[in-house]
Structure 1
Amino acid sequence: MTISIDATTKSVPSTPESVPVARWVPWLFQVGNLTFWLSLYFYVPILPSYAESLGAPLGVVGAMLSAYGVTQLLLRIPTGVASDWWGRRRPVFAAGLVASAAGAVAFYIAPSPWTLVGARAITGLAACAWVGITIMYAGYFAPSESTRAIGWLNLVNATGQVVATWSGGLLAQHYGYGAPFLVSAAVAMVGLACIAFCPEPVRAARTGPPVTLDRLWKTATAPALIGVSLLSAVQNYATFSTVFGFTPVYAERLGATRADLGTLTAVSLIPFALAQPITAWLNRRYGPRNVVVIGLAMIGLTAVTTPLCETLPILLAVQVVAGGARGVVGTTLMGMAIRRVSQSERATAMGVYQAVYAIGMFSGPLIGGLVGEVSGLPMIFISTGAVALVASVVAIRVLRDA
């Protein structure tokens, strides 16, 4: 598959040399990266049930969960463009940690269900910092080592999510719903202290042509890039309407405790993380198109079978399969989005890719919540599965040149 993007929106040199830094700096940065994801995910497993405890119907729960993706859809590209134009990444990282702490506090003091929607939007704003985080960390390494650097960054990302979702459920079980939110805010402040000692790897001056709406439009509308981005949006639609959405609600109705909810999410994220190192081999062995098609089909089938799970252990087993499929599909599509894009255009392509897949992050829980209110909780999973299964068929044609 050829991705052709005719214009670039980058306004800093595309391959700047990394500045010399002490050996401990990338390690300290990774601690900051770990705290970032911990602070965003401590409360994810209990968020739907927390909203229901405040009297929120499924529609409001869906609106709350979707606010996280809406913010990223609107601000991912502007965040990346602003960071490139400014030539600095650390302020973006710092702002993300501050926003994460603010969102956690907002959840803790929320007086009503609808207040949770605003709190979740703030945490979505925090997640936009991921654009700056990836560029800043890669800048500590030579361009030839950027892929390996991002791999380690993503491993810490996944590890943080697993640890946070598991321990967050335990915190809520033993200390009440408010505990994960308070710990999230505290951990974010620890991360802020860590990155204060991490220098900017590149302090680039603004050079080259200015960013224009015409350039941004040409980049954003490249057909091949949009194709893989929309498939990724479907994957995120399924993720945020199930494991990060209504699967915890279904588990609670099976008798799951708050600690069980943390285990449920962690069980899904562990195979997601383990899928990262084997995805490249799967792509070489079977081809990226086949990996995506089969992966989306597995995501769809696990969603459809969720309402058939009558015990928590069976539900956990289904999440293992779903988590592995999501990991393989997500990594494959991300690689395809930039695989044949020139180095000078990759940041722009990735910004567009992340913005488009955010459509799934907000539409999944929003539509799922509305479907649940009209047709009941099981229909959320059946409709989500149907969307993923249709996407797997569409992928056969969209990725025909892969």
Structure 2
Amino acid sequence: MSCFIFLFFDSFIMVITARLLAGMTAAMWVMATVLYSQHFTKDQSSKAMGILQFLTVFPPFLSMAVSGYLIHMFGWMFPFWIGVAVSCIGLVLSFYIKDYGPRQTAKGMALSDYVKQTWHLPDLKALTTLSFIAHTVLFMTVFGFTPIYEETVGIDEKQLIWVMCAFLFRKSWHPCSASFTK
């Protein structure tokens, strides 16, 4: 939906809505992590998270690597059309995901009770706020303002890959990333 909105709307509200939808989709990595880790034993959790870290970083890198060239060849809207097509394929494939994990449900506990218990976790609000601010600054600068600045200094779309490579390699090799934890 995010790519579709970007294709046909350019008002501030619609752009914010499209970014919100993209952000919600990006947050789905939590579910992917849980589902993926179920295919490994506890002693292989480091291996599972290493593979998942690679699978999390490589597709955005690949898409950024080719998007500058595609924009150069077919225009600024072409990557959004690719996003719509790949999202439709992903939606269809998502119906075939199987959850092999054990089902542990608390009897008689409503969703609102889960939300209340989560809301009262110590330091949750502070950590969530700090994470929100950090990710907002990170992604606004790298994906929002950097391409605009590059255009003003004369870097074309085909050269954008080098800046995105630097960002993604820095992110994936950072000591605090999941690939360095055991």
Please state how far the C-alpha of 1:154 moved relative to its aligned partner: 1.4
Tell me the equivalent position of 1:249.
148
Q: 1:217 aligns with which of 119, 126, 131?
A: 119
Tell me the equivalent position of 2:175.
328
Task: Give me the whole-angstrom Cα distance separating, in 1, the residues matched to 2:162 and 2:70.
Answer: 12
Please state how far the C-alpha of 1:179 moved relative to its aligned partner: 0.4
1:239 alignment partner AA: L
Please tell me whether the aligned partners of residues 171 and 177 of structure 2 are also in contact (alpha carbons under 8 angstroms).
no
Task: Give me the whole-angstrom Cα distance separating, in 1, the residues matched to 2:41 and 2:163.
Answer: 39
Please tell me whether the aligned partners of residues 235 and 330 of structure 1 are also in contact (alpha carbons under 8 angstroms).
no
Please state how far the C-alpha of 1:157 moved relative to its aligned partner: 0.7
Q: 1:141 aligns with which of 30, 40, 48?
A: 40
- The alpha-carbon distance between structure 1 residues 200 and 329, as it changes in their structure 2 partners (threshold 3 A), is closer
1:177 alignment partner AA: W
2:139 is the alignment partner of 1:240: yes
Tell me the equivalent position of 2:76.
177
- The alpha-carbon distance between structure 1 residues 245 and 179, as it changes in their structure 2 partners (threshold 3 A), is same
Please tell me whether the aligned partners of residues 165 and 262 of structure 1 are also in contact (alpha carbons under 8 angstroms).
yes
- The alpha-carbon distance between structure 1 residues 226 and 217, as it changes in their structure 2 partners (threshold 3 A), is closer
Aligned alpha-carbon RMSD (Å): 3.0
Please tell me whether the aligned partners of residues 232 and 330 of structure 1 are also in contact (alpha carbons under 8 angstroms).
no
2:15 is the alignment partner of 1:116: yes
- The alpha-carbon distance between structure 1 residues 103 and 241, as it changes in their structure 2 partners (threshold 3 A), is closer
Question: What do the CA deviations read for 1:27-50 (whole angstroms, capped 9, x no partner)?
Answer: xxxxxxxxxxxxxxxxxxxxxxxx
Please state how far the C-alpha of 1:189 moved relative to its aligned partner: 2.5
Q: How does 1:265-304 map to 2 (within 5 A)?
A: 265-273=164-172, 275=173
Please state how far the C-alpha of 1:150 moved relative to its aligned partner: 2.0
Tell me the equivalent position of 1:63.
none
| TM superposition outliers: structure 1 runs of 4+ over 6 Å | none
Residue correspondences, number? 179
Question: What do the CA deviations read for 1:91-114 (whole angstroms, capped 9, x no partner)?
Answer: xxxxxxxxxxx1111111115344
Gaps of 5+ in 1: 1-101, 276-326, 340-402
Tell me the TM-score normalized by structure 2: 0.80
Please state how far the C-alpha of 1:240 moved relative to its aligned partner: 2.0
Please tell me whether the aligned partners of residues 272 and 328 of structure 1 are also in contact (alpha carbons under 8 angstroms).
no
Task: Give me the whole-angstrom Cα distance separating, in 2, the residues matched to 1:244 and 1:178.
Answer: 16
Gaps of 5+ in 2: none
Task: Give me the whole-angstrom Cα distance separating, in 1, the residues matched to 2:92 and 2:75.
Answer: 28
2:120 alignment partner AA: K
1:328 alignment partner AA: P
1:216 alignment partner AA: T
- The alpha-carbon distance between structure 1 residues 263 and 158, as it changes in their structure 2 partners (threshold 3 A), is same
Please state how far the C-alpha of 1:263 moved relative to its aligned partner: 3.5
> In structure 1, the residue corresponding to 2:175 is in which secondary structure?
helix
2:50 is the alignment partner of 1:151: yes
Task: Give me the whole-angstrom Cα distance separating, in 1, the residues matched to 2:11 and 2:27.
Answer: 26
Tell me the equivalent position of 1:259.
158
Task: Give me the whole-angstrom Cα distance separating, in 2, the residues matched to 1:113 and 1:218.
Answer: 35
2:2 is the alignment partner of 1:103: yes
Please state how far the C-alpha of 1:270 moved relative to its aligned partner: 2.4
Q: How does 1:1-400 map to 2 (within 5 A)?
A: 102-202=1-101, 204-207=103-106, 210=109, 211-219=113-121, 221-222=122-123, 232-233=131-132, 235-273=134-172, 275=173, 327-331=174-178
Please tell me whether the aligned partners of residues 49 and 178 of structure 2 are also in contact (alpha carbons under 8 angstroms).
no
Task: Give me the whole-angstrom Cα distance separating, in 2, the residues matched to 1:213 and 1:271.
Answer: 35
